[in-house]
Amino acid sequence: MASVTSWTLDWDDFPPDLLAFWTERHLCTLTTLRPDGRPHVVPVGVTLDHEERCAWVITGGSSRKAAHLATPGPVAACQVDHARWSTLEGSGVVVRDAQSVARAVAMYAGRYKPPRENPARVAIRIEVSRFVSSSKV
C-alpha cells in the first residue's frame, strides 16, 4: 500500500518536491459542492501563487463552479501523474476584479499556455489550507 503524506501549508517552508510537482504541467480536477451537498468535479488548470499565497483557477463567470463559489466554500483540487498525485484543500471564492483576473490569467499562461480571450472570465481564488499527496511527488 502506498504511503500518503498530509502537509499543513506553510508558504515559507514549501517542500521542493511538492512545489516542483505543482509547477509541472498537469491538468487538475476541481471539486466544489452543489447546493444539495453533492460534489461537482470538473477538469481545470490550477496555479500556485507564492506571492499572493493562494491558488488560482480561471473560468467563465456563468460556469457551475463559479456559481457554487459565489460565496466562499470548500474546494479541493487534485492532479495526478501515473502513481504521483497531490490534492490541495481550502476555501474558494469567485473574484471578478480586473487585477485579480489578470493575475490568474498570467499565472495560468505561465504553467499551461495563454488562454483564449473570454470577456466573461472570472477567477477562483483558493485560500489553501493543506496538501495531501502520494509519498513520491
* Chain segment 62-76, per-residue pLDDT in tens: 999 999 999 999 999
Residue 11 forms part of a structural domain: yes
Confidence category of residue 120, pLDDT binned at 50, 70, 90: very high
Q: Quick one: average pLDDT of 29-45? A: 97
Residue 40 in any domain: the answer is no
Above 80 in pLDDT, residue 32? yes
pLDDT for residue 51 is more than 80: yes
Query: Is residue 39 domain-resident?
Result: no
Nearest one of 80, 21, 85, 28 to 56, comparing CA atoms: 28
Q: What is the CATH number of the domain that holds 128?
A: 2.30.110.10
Number of folded domains in the chain?
1
Q: Kindly indicate the confidence band of residue 114, based on its pLDDT and cuts at 50, 70 and 90.
A: very high
Cβ pair 61, 120 in contact under 8 A: yes
- Grid cell at residue 30: 476541481
Q: What is the distance between the alpha carbons of residues 36 and 98, in angstroms, rounded to a whole number?
A: 31
Q: Is the pTM higher than 0.75?
A: yes
Q: Provide the terminal-to-terminal Cα distance of the chain, rounded to the nearest Å.
A: 16
Report CA-CA distances (Å) from 121 to 33, 129, 133. 21, 25, 30
CA distance 61 to 67: 8
Assess if residue 38 is contained within a domain. no
Amino acid identity at 37: G
Is the pLDDT at 4 greater than 80? The verdict is: no
Query: Is position 41 within any domain?
Result: no
Q: Which domain holds residue 91?
A: 4-31+47-134
